[in-house]
Structure 1
Amino acid sequence: MRWSGAGRAGAAAVLLPMSAMLAIGLWGLDRGGMWRDEAVTFQVARRSVPQIWQLLHSVDAVHGLYYLLMHLALAPHPGEVALRLPSVCAAATTAGLVAALGVCLCRPRVGLWAGLLYAVTPMAGHFAQEGRSYALVAAGVAGATVLLVRAMGMPPVRAKPRSRESVGDWWAYAGVVAVTCLLHELAVLLLLAHAGTLALVRVPARVWWRWGCAAGAAVLGLVPLVLVSRGQSAQVAWLPRPGAGSVERLLAAFTGSTLLVVVPYLVLVALAVRPPLVRRGELSLPAVALPLMVVPPAVLMTVSQFWPLYDDRYVLYALSGAPLLAAAGAERLVGLMPRLRLTVPTGPRITLTGVLTITFAFAVQLPLLRQDRTADHRADNLAAVSATAHSELRPGDPVLFLPSIVRRSALAYPKGFRGIRDVALSAPGPASGTLYGLEADPGELRRRLARLDRVWVVAEPFALRPTWYPASPTEQVKLAVVDEEFVPLEEVARKGVTMRLYVRRAPVQGMRWAID
């Protein structure tokens, strides 16, 4: 296809951020270890479709569609690169869609700046390398936003509304929103952001009606997932109520990691949202970007004061609004330069100056990006745990996982645990429809432990603290028997896990006489 004039510039403005995000995402992708959440994706996605479906009835229904997609992605060659590659592609797509919004609602250089800003943001780079659904959700939200802009059919997107095409666009919008929310149900908050855009622009009633029909259709498709996931809400019981610290962390995640980046970023955003934010009947870039950036995190943090659901990753998709606002602010700054009696460079020089500024922001944050590409930068490194187990355990050694979720290291990297006896396991995860397997009942576990003279305990550090008391009777038996009948002989600790070898206490001489 031949591009001319603005068409060629617009295409370049979209492709360059996509290429930058793809390069950043592929850089260090095989970091040599999965962490706990990625390990769940890896072991669930390798199950058969019936086994995945069985699992979703009891746990992780909110990730069901993602697991099915990853089942296809991992089928040819399961591994860490294949696990993360869909997220890399999704992040690159998001960068391109962010750029497309800037091109469509303003001009090619604004789209280029916005897309590149998204690509170099550490938060985007982090989740581009996560084997979880959040980068895919961000791509879905960006795609839905592009479709919203197209469906509204308002200047400067189109010279005049074209109702026939816009009806089809609304149904495409509904489909993308539905699929995105099925990837993660909290993405439904994007509808509130889009409602904010419609309210800012003060669209006519017919647009509200069409959007309402499309949004209603998407929400209707989400109802079964919501009903099932409500019964699994214990999975997020660990989430705390967000406070001022959560706001600060999210702001730093959206804008950058150092003051050299944060301060100019905030200045540009402030320029973008200064009055007049919008003009009636005109769809502006700030009117789209501001609600997208602010509404989902604000609503989720407010709801989480009563029912904690907030985590930064759940609102990754709102990040798309921040670079769009910063780019719009930079464009306004260019417009203010003549009023400030400053010489305005030519168009290409303005574009190049913006690109160089973003390159500087990338260079400043390069140490953080480099650190993020090491396995030990995550909450844990299950490959390292497996390597430690391989050096300490011997075939036939009895092992007790405390609590049972620690079994994830053996499931993700079985080589280090090959040949060991899993003392508590009654049925493996795929057969029992659970994540980590079904464990023996307390009585059976006591009988199994009674036959052992030694046992390795692979435990979360918190599980070995005297203050920890589990709710599960089986976990209680593990603690009680090990504490009463065994003594520790040696210990090996790694980040996120502790391995202890316990041996049975020596019988006390004369104990029978003393009892008699």
Structure 2
Amino acid sequence: MLVPVLVMLAIGLWGLDRGAMWRDEAVTFQVARRSVPQIWHLLHTVDAVHGLYYLGMHAVLAPHPGEIALRLPSVCGAAATAGLVAALGVRLCRPRVGLWAGLLYAVTPMAGHFAQEGRSYALVAAGAAGATLLLVRAVPSPRPGPWWAYGSTLAVTCLLHEMALLLLLAHACTLALARLPARIWRRWLTSAAGVTLVLLPLLLVSRGQSAQVAWLSRTGLRSAERLLDTFTGPARIVVLPYLLLAALAFVPGLPRRGALTLPAVALPLAAVPPLVLLTVSRWWPLYDERYVLYALAGAPLLAAAGADRLTGLLPRLVPHAVLSGVLGITLVFAVQLPILRQDRSPDRRPDNLAAVSAVAHRELRPGDPVLFLPSLARRAALAYPRGFLGIRDIALSVPAPASGTLYGQEADAADLRRRLAGLDRVWLVAEPFATVPSWYPDSPTERVKLAVVDEQFVPREQVVRRGVTMRLYVRRPMRSPAFPTEPPGRERPSVGRAGPGALGSPPGPPR
């Protein structure tokens, strides 16, 4: 168990301070630094699904907030998961299977990626692996204590993220495959009912906040193929041997310890949560790879068990089984090392808020009026305030912590018009989708931003960086009635409006 833990720790700590947070990490960073009453206020309107994680991170970031502290719990969670995967392999099969499975988990790029994310998913994976190990220990035990430990661990894991509730389905399939007696089912059903009861308030609250996952799309065959690549590793040379070894795990002859077999535990863990979520998301989009990270633990267990079966079938070809397995995993690590190295770059994330703040620091001056379009474009200013120090946030009415929102409460449409009326120039900090002509916001305040900037201002300067567009707008000059610029009776066409939501054409190529 110790060797996979140390390897996962090394991979997780490698390049941990990459110098930038992306949007989801920035939300964790700014919410966790609020007071507990402010976090509780926020959870009533948004992000209830991450409530327990935010409260935990509040304690973690209190002594010394920073990017390393933000990501360190995920590193520890990933290391714990690698150790727990090894423990499952030892208990269900033999020590070398545990060693191989834990190491294979540690070198998988998906595990390394989420080990460096300031979000809850690596901790959820650790909780799921721990709950699965506790289930394996509880099944042969006549005492109620192990079942209490199993139910409590699973309840905390589901409170970290409600998608972990699908683990109950995986464990039910495990019990069914093992053909366990009715008394075991009664104990498990009691634990499952307790977990569901604890999670029920969160499920009800998060259902009312379902607009947060409106960005998710329907799944298809490509989604399943991509998930297979992430579970085994994107390198094609790894995928086929990985699948062949996993198939060998089902060949009779594996040693059996206790009431459960390794395939009966690992296959449902790896397959059931992703398949259920992928199927549901064909009609009701809820799927994202990060939501089923915890299912990854089953895949290396199957591959390691298959490798063990191969050494049993071909003992002369594999004289030193333990060393041969470690060497094979080292080769897998070498093949996927470039992927892990690239993942340490901020450019591998959807955006780079530190770079946005650096651009703002260079372009903006204290007192400059700034308009964020939409309001969530304010996230760079919240994560890295130094670049926006001293600016005038024209639309902001109540700051984010006091308003119980992620990005602050903005003025209503009429008030925002009055604020913009007194300006001769304004900087617009816009998300890329907000500059697309087809974008039409639901919020009246966001529509006023578009309308006023387009009708009363003209673009003077533009800076484009990955994840943000910054434009300086100056007020459109007034035309003198004595010297009309256009023949009477002709309307002046709007500048750069290609459709609702489009902004004025930028002044030449972006910098």
Partner of residue 371, structure 1: 342
Matching residue's letter, 2:478: P
- Once the two structures are superposed, residues 219-249 of structure 1 have per-residue CA deviations (whole angstroms, 9 ceiling, x without a partner) of 1000000010000000001100111111011
Structure 1 residue 257, shift from structure 2 partner: 1.3
CA distance in 2, matches of 1:222, 1:512: 71
Matching residue's letter, 2:34: R
**What is the root-mean-square deviation in Å for CA atoms of aligned residues?**
1.6
Structure 1 residue 282, shift from structure 2 partner: 3.9
Q: Is the 8 A contact 2:245 2:302 kept in 1?
A: yes
Query: What TM-score do the two structures reach when normalised by structure 1?
Result: 0.92
SS at match of 1:510: coil
SS at match of 2:238: helix
SS at match of 2:34: coil
Q: Which runs of 5+ in 1 are unaligned?
A: 1-13, 154-161
Q: Is the 8 A contact 2:432 2:467 kept in 1?
A: yes
Partner of residue 435, structure 1: 406
Q: Is the 8 A contact 2:166 2:273 kept in 1?
A: yes
Q: 1:280 and 1:209, CA in 2 relative to 1: closer, same or farther beyond 3 A?
A: farther
CA distance in 2, matches of 1:133, 1:463: 29
The yes-or-no answer on 1:118 pairing with 2:105 is yes
The yes-or-no answer on 1:191 pairing with 2:168 is yes
1:237-248 superposed matches below 5 A? 237-248=214-225
Matching residue's letter, 2:310: L
Matching residue's letter, 1:152: V
Q: Is the 8 A contact 1:277 1:287 kept in 2?
A: no
Q: Is the 8 A contact 2:93 2:257 kept in 1?
A: no
The correspondence for 1:445, drawn from 405, 408, 416, is: 416
SS at match of 2:298: helix
- Once the two structures are superposed, residues 253-285 of structure 1 have per-residue CA deviations (whole angstroms, 9 ceiling, x without a partner) of 000111211111011011113468998984111
Q: 1:442 and 1:101, CA in 2 relative to 1: closer, same or farther beyond 3 A?
A: same
CA distance in 2, matches of 1:410, 1:320: 37
1:194-343 superposed matches below 5 A? 194-274=171-251, 282-337=259-314, 342-343=316-317
CA distance in 1, matches of 2:311, 2:202: 47
Partner of residue 427, structure 2: 456
Structure 1 residue 307, shift from structure 2 partner: 1.4
Q: Is the 8 A contact 1:278 1:286 kept in 2?
A: no
CA distance in 2, matches of 1:463, 1:417: 20
CA distance in 1, matches of 2:137, 2:389: 55
CA distance in 2, matches of 1:422, 1:279: 65
SS at match of 1:30: coil
The correspondence for 2:142, drawn from 163, 167, 177, is: 163
Q: Is the 8 A contact 1:201 1:281 kept in 2?
A: no
Matching residue's letter, 2:220: G
The number of equivalent residue pairs is 486
Runs of 4+ in 1 over 6 A off after TM superposition: 276-281, 511-515
Structure 1 residue 511, shift from structure 2 partner: 7.4
Partner of residue 478, structure 1: 449
Identical aligned residues as a percent: 74
SS at match of 1:310: coil
Partner of residue 92, structure 1: 79
Q: Is the 8 A contact 1:200 1:278 kept in 2?
A: no
Partner of residue 20, structure 1: 7
Matching residue's letter, 1:353: S
Structure 1 residue 377, shift from structure 2 partner: 1.1
- Once the two structures are superposed, residues 75-124 of structure 1 have per-residue CA deviations (whole angstroms, 9 ceiling, x without a partner) of 00000000000000000000000000001111111000000000000000
The yes-or-no answer on 1:494 pairing with 2:465 is yes
Partner of residue 353, structure 1: 324
SS at match of 1:163: coil
The correspondence for 2:54, drawn from 67, 73, 93, is: 67
Q: Which runs of 5+ in 2 are unaligned?
A: 490-511
Q: 1:510 and 1:484, CA in 2 relative to 1: closer, same or farther beyond 3 A?
A: same
Partner of residue 123, structure 2: 136
CA distance in 1, matches of 2:483, 2:145: 85
Q: Is the 8 A contact 2:97 2:308 kept in 1?
A: yes
Query: What TM-score do the two structures reach when normalised by structure 2?
Result: 0.93
Structure 1 residue 512, shift from structure 2 partner: 10
The correspondence for 1:53, drawn from 37, 40, 55, is: 40
More helix by share: 1
The yes-or-no answer on 1:384 pairing with 2:361 is no
